Amino acid sequence: MELASTAHLERIRGRSAQAHDLICEAFQREREAACLVKDVTELEPTRSVLFRSAASLAVECNELREAERLIAWGLAGNPPEEIADELRDLLEQVNFERHLSLRGMTLRPDEFQLSMSGPAVGNGLAQSDEFTGRVQSLQKLVYRTAARVMQLPYCERGPDKKVRKEMEVFLSVPRAACFAVSFRLGGLHQPKLPGQDLGKDVIDEVFDCIDLLNTSSYGALRKRFAEEAYYTNFVSLTHSIRPDGNRVKRVGLTSLRQDAERRVVLSEGRQREGEDIDQHIEVAEEQAEEIKGMLLVADAYRESNEYIVVVDAEQRKQRVRVPTGMMGDIVRPLFEYEVVVRGKRAGKYLLLEDIRKAE
């Protein structure tokens, strides 16, 4: 536990090699502990907890075959149902890690793979809304990142035309790996100078920022964004791509760099900093509110003071302030849908933190 905790701190500090070595050492220690009670099936829940922990560390070390063995040994005993479910979930994660693998397929530097798994995803099939919604959000994330890499000012109404002149997003046919597709960030047919590749740079930036978000390294993440609107947009779009934990259990991205695969798995839920999105508004209550209703009205003419109106079941109109960076890519696609809005109260307005389509 001490080794794993230290590894987590090293990862936050950006020392990935040291973190990996510590996690692998923790895995070996935990595996040894679990194997001591392998044949003591009546020692529950200690036995199954040790095997679950060892298997989880094995996944972090990319020892997938060893993780399968440890999960099987854990389930072969008499684990409590709660721990048994956790072991089964971990086995799903191991299978997903295999699907993240390119399996002999070669990706260009300007390509990456999107993989999904869960009840709404089959072998080469996916429920349309779950797939297209994430693809659209990922495409927006790519274009916004390209604009930022090109040092263009943020534009709420969509990426600058200069971005699309330099880069377009292409999509491959789905592959039967749970569900996987490849994105190619193509550009003009003009030869590039050595070391200059907008598509590759955008992919690396997206992966780096997701890694920082996954490890809650908010200080390092914010330093990469010159404008607050880009930061708000990135966090919101990433949240819309994440698994919901119900219909889609896992979402991951894979690229190829120097003949080695780089993978990022988008964790479930949304990490928060505990900060107000709009720091210039005095918030009367810190407790978050949640409202549900039809998104029918919006005022997007004044980018410094955008708001929406949600009409709830009692026909009450709820005004919601929208921070810059969310109206165009996050809110606009939900017009005339029933939505769930979460935010903090500031006078007659609710300050938007999250908005999603209602179940």
Residue 150 and residue 163 in contact, taking contact as beta carbons nearer than 8 Å: yes
For the four alpha carbons of 181, 185, 188 and 189, in that order, the dihedral sign comes to: negative
Give CA angle at 313 (309, 315), nearest 5°.
Answer: 55
**CATH 1.10.3470 is the classification of domain 2-98:** no
- What 216-220 contacts at long range (C-beta under 8 Å, 24+ apart), as own/partner pairs, is 216/12, 216/271, 217/12, 217/14, 218/273, 220/14
DSSP state of 335: T
According to the model, what pLDDT value does residue 276 have? 36
Strands (E), the chain: 111-117, 167-171, 180-187, 250-257, 260-266, 288-299, 307-311, 317-321, 338-346, 349-357
According to the model, what pLDDT value does residue 101 have? 62
Residue 226 and residue 251 in contact, taking contact as beta carbons nearer than 8 Å: no
| Helix pair angle (46-60, 16-36), 10° resolution | 150
Give CA angle at 357 (248, 230), nearest 5°.
Answer: 85
Distance CA 283, CA 345 (A): 7
DSSP letters, 239-302, are HHHS--SSS--EEEEEEEETTEEEEEEEPSS----S--S-TTS--S--SEEEEEEEEEEEE-S-
Give, rounded to a whole angstrom, the gap between the first and last alpha carbons of the chain: 39
According to the model, what pLDDT value does residue 287 have? 63
According to the model, what pLDDT value does residue 280 have? 35
According to the model, what pLDDT value does residue 253 have? 93
Half-sphere exposure of 252 (CA within 13 A, CB side): 25
According to the model, what pLDDT value does residue 171 have? 87
Parallel, antiparallel, or unpaired for β 317-321 and 349-357? parallel
According to the model, what pLDDT value does residue 149 have? 92
Q: What is the pTM of this model?
A: 0.71
Alpha-carbon Rg for the chain, nearest whole angstrom, is: 22
Residue spans of the domains in the chain: they are 2-98, 111-266, 288-357
DSSP state of 337: S
CATH assignment of 288-357, among 3.40.190.10, 1.20.120.790, 2.40.50.140, 3.30.1360.120: 2.40.50.140
Residue 2 exposed, middle or buried by CB count within 10 Å (0-12, 13-18, 19+): exposed
Give, for all 359 residues of the chain, the pLDDT tens digit: 899 889 888 877 767 788 889 999 999 999 999 999 999 988 999 999 999 999 999 988 888 899 999 999 999 989 999 999 989 888 877 877 766 565 555 667 888 989 888 888 877 778 888 889 999 999 999 999 999 999 999 988 777 788 888 888 888 877 665 678 889 887 654 445 445 688 899 999 999 999 888 888 888 899 999 999 999 999 999 999 999 888 888 899 999 888 788 889 887 755 445 443 333 333 334 567 888 999 986 655 554 558 888 988 888 888 898 888 898 888 888 888 899 999 988 878 888 888 888 87
Contacts of 121 (CB under 8 A, 6+ apart): 127, 130, 178, 179, 248
Beta bridge partners of 183: 112, 171
Give CA angle at 57 (52, 62), nearest 5°.
Answer: 125
